[in-house]
Homo-oligomer: A and B are copies of this chain.
Amino acid sequence: MAANTKIASAVQILCVIAYKGSGGTTAEAIARSLDTNPVVVRRMMKDLQRASLVEIRPGKDGGVQLRREPDAITLEDIHEAVEGHASVFALRPGGNPKCPVNGHMKSALPSIFHAVDEAVAMRLRQTTLASLSRPIA
């Protein structure tokens, strides 16, 4: 499967905001760090705003700032903001409804896949934005 770079982008966006301090920053400045288009940054900032991680001030003197302290934002929060409750693994749809193996897959795999997602969430929860942004000189 293609590994997902969305969380890395979102973490970098939030680290730039944390690095810039309480005055906040702009989508343009963040885009220079990621070397991408500000449109890409703004799209992702909307997801982060929806999850109450950032506050976007519109207008000429607008910008973006964190809504919580960096030590109150975990990678799990960031992951959920940009991916929702996405699963790592999923059942394959369809299959032969008359086959007992196929039926058993549909009943047995979901709890295993859910436990995998829980393991991922638990690991992400152990890292805060502060631990990533603090060491940046």
Question: A87–B3 contact, CB under 8 A?
Answer: yes
Q: Closest approach, in angstroms, between the C-beta of A113 and any C-beta of chain B?
A: 8
Give the size of the chain A interface in residues (CB under 8 angstroms).
52
Closest to A93 in B: B5
Question: A11–B105 contact, CB under 8 A?
Answer: yes
Question: A91–B8 contact, CB under 8 A?
Answer: yes
Q: Closest approach, in angstroms, between the C-beta of A46 and any C-beta of chain B?
A: 18
Q: Is A22 an interface residue when CB atoms closer than 8 A count as contact?
A: no
Using A95-B33, A95-B35, A96-B32 as known contacts, say yes or no to A8 and B120 having CB atoms under 8 A apart. no
Chain B residues contacting A94 (CB-CB under 8 Å) are 34-35
Q: Closest approach, in angstroms, between the C-beta of A56 and any C-beta of chain B?
A: 19
Using A86-B1, A88-B3 as known contacts, say yes or no to A123 and B115 having CB atoms under 8 A apart. yes
Contact check: which of B86, B102, B104, B119 meets A34 at CB < 8 Å?
A: B102
Chain B residues contacting A11 (CB-CB under 8 Å) are 105, 109
CA distance A88 to B100 in the complex (A): 31
